[in-house]
Amino acid sequence: MAPKRLAHEVHDGDNKKRRRRSNGAACPGQSEPFKTQCAITTAPEETEAPPQDKRSSSAMQDTTRVAVLVPFRDNHPAQKRQAQLDEFVPYMTEFLKRHCALKSASFHIFIIDQSLDGRKFNRGKLLNAGFDMARNDYDLYIFHDVDLLPGDDLGELYTTIPTLGPMHIARVWDRYNESSTYFGGIVAFTFQQFIKVNGFPNNFWGWGGEDNELYSRVVRKKFSIQAPARCVSLALARYDMMLMSCGSWLMCIAVAQFAT
């Protein structure tokens, strides 16, 4: 049986969710800023991040357009992932509105949701799928865990293009700066940087490993990894960091979007 393909459309003004199921047909006329992505599936293992630049002309303009991509699943109540998402969306929407306004930038939040089927969580594959959806319209891509909320002292990093190399924003928190080779939590790339490293690996199922491989890919391409100049606060905002358990999931993607 073919997997169901889901698309979520969320208005960030009144936070009311509208859900549509797609049979794989192309979306009818989409209007900014609340675009609905239909028939979203992950790329085959061998493709990973597609190499060609297909950005629209709107992504080439002076105003910085920011895509925040968040992998998500909620199959273990003890992890409280849905509660985390419910807090993440309004917090990040207001956070990004404030800081994007300072630079006349715009943003879009993508929640990439893996559905049930008997497979483990695949964070890298979800983020590759999210990038493939966002690729045509943005020039700054921030790959962001749902249980991390930035303080306002990090706001500039969410609107600044890391021209010297990918930025490890989460390095400001002790958990993420114990090892110079760890590259997870919150990382930011330009379009061309992510294309050049060929994205995340698609073959890490379950918790961990994909961020280490991403680090290796960045190093192999001789990028210099950037980090915040000083150690400032990254709020966990009442979230508990819990180990990912081995849930079973189908690589059918549901996307919730929030935008300016």
Percentage helix, strand, coil, to 5, in the chain?
Answer: 30, 25, 50
Give the per-residue pLDDT at 82.
86
In this prediction the pTM is 0.69
DSSP letter for each residue of 88-135:
HHHHHHHHHHHHHHHTT-EEEEEEEEEEESS----HHHHHHHHHHHHT
Tell me the domains of the chain and their CATH numbers. 61-259 (3.90.550.10)
Cβ contact 237:87 at 8 Å: yes
pLDDT by residue (tens digit) across 157-196?
999 999 999 999 998 887 777 677 789 999 999 999 999 9
Question: Which residue shows structure tokens 């000083």?
Answer: 230
**Structure tokens given for 245:** 């358990």
How far is 32 from 44, CA to CA, in rounded Å?
A: 29
Average pLDDT over residues 115-141: 86
3-state secondary structure of 79: helix
Cβ contact 96:237 at 8 Å: no
- pLDDT band (50, 70, 90) for residue 118: low
pLDDT by residue (tens digit) across 83-110?
899 999 999 999 999 999 999 899 999 9
* AA identity, residue 213: E
Give the per-residue pLDDT at 33.
29
- pLDDT band (50, 70, 90) for residue 71: very high
How far is 199 from 213, CA to CA, in rounded Å?
A: 10
Spell 7-41 as b/e; 16+ CB within 10 A means b: bbbbebeeeeeeeeebeeeeeeeeeeebbbbbebe
List, in sequence order, every beta strand (DSSP E) within 158-197: 167-168, 186-190
Q: Which of 57, 146, 66 has its CA nearest to residue 108?
A: 66
How far is 70 from 205, CA to CA, in rounded Å?
A: 17
Average pLDDT over residues 246-254: 30
**Structure tokens given for 200:** 């995340």
57 CB burial (10 A radius; 0-12, 13-18, 19+): exposed
pLDDT by residue (tens digit) across 38-70?
222 233 344 455 555 555 554 445 589 999 999
**Is the pLDDT assigned to residue 260 strictly greater than 60?**
no
**Structure tokens given for 145:** 């865990």
